[in-house]
């Protein structure tokens, strides 16, 4: 079993052999419906859902033939694990009920509205020996494994995450709603302490910030420039990662990506630039990309990251292993978001 990371439970009690994990979904709205649908396709038993909205409960009963309750506490005693897909402001309240009662929890991102609330959940999970996984789904994109080495030595990361206004997640601003994805990815790749944050943003349609741009500097010298906007006309999700070894370009919207690295034996000082006719682009392209650089195309839309995330959670429930995205990871992402929001508050438009 992997070594537990800081802030995560060292859980030991495995599921009884031969019995499927009994799981429930709390909140079956826009995203929760996908959780329930995909769990029905996995090796577990979706026994019940909970949602305060009658229409959502009726849909669940008709679609998946499961019990549906208005009060999430009705699931206690029926489930081994839950997926919590409620508004962010309710994450701590709802997840705490299950952790305190011996139920493993997958809570959607962000782990909570504040890092203090998130840490309270981590502490509860540790105290009660429970699995706590955070739903940062981008971590389960297979293409990210292809850029992991570049990311470890990253010196500059640039991301743009734009979305049209949807009237969802209006209880939080764009930093906790959208930028949190890229904050988590950057922290997972760079693995260094934040030393400074400069940010700007403001409200457009809601009381909270609807657009934000942040420059984050790390102790190891890496810099990340992140932009998020939830009032765009078209969605856009791109990230570029630069290091001394090469660079990666990822387009999460189109599912395309590219990894460019130096070929074995690269030594710029020994290059014979006179050996090519630089006026001929074909010769230049061949010289650079056939001999000096290795170009690898990445497919970002292979598989189903949300299904992989749910399957990984079920494996953790079964074998008590440490989640890919731990509670501590979730707290770190929110803590970074709080630094961004604090910087925005200093520069907020009026």
Answer yes or no: do 103 and 37 share one domain: yes
Within a domain: 313: yes
Cα Rg, the chain, nearest whole Å: 22
Within a domain: 208: yes
Within a domain: 279: no
Answer yes or no: do 319 and 221 share one domain: no
Answer yes or no: do 34 and 129 share one domain: yes
Within a domain: 41: yes
CB 85 within 8 A of CB 27: yes
Answer yes or no: do 76 and 154 share one domain: no
- pLDDT at residue number 271: 55
Residues 62-88: tens digit of each pLDDT? 999 999 999 999 999 999 999 999 999
Answer yes or no: do 123 and 27 share one domain: yes
Within a domain: 341: no
Answer yes or no: do 41 and 114 share one domain: yes
Flag residues of the chain having pLDDT under 50: 1-7, 9-10, 281
Tell me the DSSP string of 279-329: T-HHHHHHIIIIIIEEEEEEESSSS-HHHHHHHHHHHHHHH-PPPSSBHHH
**Which CATH number covers residue 227?**
3.30.360.10
Within a domain: 254: yes
Residues 148-207: tens digit of each pLDDT? 777 778 999 999 999 888 777 677 899 999 999 999 999 999 999 999 999 999 888 777
**Which CATH number covers residue 129?**
3.40.50.720
Structurally, how many domains does the chain consist of?
2
- pLDDT at residue number 106: 98
Query: In this structure, how many other beta carbons lie within 10 angstroms of the beta carbon of residue 194?
Result: 20
Give the residue numbers spanning the domain of 99: 22-136+305-324
Within a domain: 349: no
Within a domain: 273: no
Answer yes or no: do 83 and 158 share one domain: no
- pLDDT at residue number 6: 43
- Strand 293-299 and strand 104-108: the pairing is unpaired
Residue 237, Cα to own-chain centre: how many angstroms?
A: 13
């Amino acid at each position: 079993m992997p070594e537990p990371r800081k802030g995560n439970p060292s859980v030991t009690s495995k599921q009884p052999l031969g019995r499927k994990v009994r799981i429930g979904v709390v909140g079956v709205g826009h995203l929760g419906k996908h959780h329930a649908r995909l769990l029905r396709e996995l090796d577990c038993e979706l026994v019940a859902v909970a949602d305060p909205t009658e229409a959502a409960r009726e849909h669940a009963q008709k679609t998946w033939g499961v019990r549906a309750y208005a009060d999430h506490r009705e699931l206690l005693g029926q489930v081994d694990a839950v997926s919590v897909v409620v508004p962010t402001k309710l994450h701590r309240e709802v997840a705490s009920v299950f952790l305190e009662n011996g139920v493993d929890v997958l809570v959607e991102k962000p782990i909570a509205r504040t890092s203090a609330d998130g840490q309270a959940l981590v502490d509860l999970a540790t105290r009660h020996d429970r699995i706590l996984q955070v739903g940062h789904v981008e971590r389960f994109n297979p293409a990210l494994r292809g850029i992991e080495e570049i990311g470890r030595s990253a010196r500059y990361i640039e991301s743009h995450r734009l979305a049209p206004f949807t009237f969802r997640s209006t209880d939080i601003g764009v930093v906790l709603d959208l930028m949190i994805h890229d904050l988590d990815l950057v922290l997972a790749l760079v693995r260094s302490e934040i030393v400074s944050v400069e940010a700007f943003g403001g409200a457009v349609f809601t009381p909270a910030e609807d657009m934000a741009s942040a420059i984050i500097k790390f102790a190891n010298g890496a810099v990340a420039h992140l932009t998020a906007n939830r009032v765009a006309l078209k969605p856009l999700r791109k990230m570029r990662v630069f290091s001394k070894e090469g660079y990666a370009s990822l387009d999460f919207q189109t599912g395309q990506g590219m990894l460019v690295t130096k070929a074995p034996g690269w030594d710029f000082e020994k290059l014979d630039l006179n050996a090519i006719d630089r006026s001929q682009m074909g010769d230049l392209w061949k010289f650079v990309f056939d001999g000096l650089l290795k170009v690898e195309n990445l497919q970002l839309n292979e598989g189903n990251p949300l299904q992989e995330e749910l399957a990984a959670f079920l494996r953790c429930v079964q074998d008590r292993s440490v989640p890919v995205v731990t509670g501590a990871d979730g707290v770190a992402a929110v803590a970074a978001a709080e630094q961004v929001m604090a910087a925005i508050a200093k520069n907020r438009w009026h």
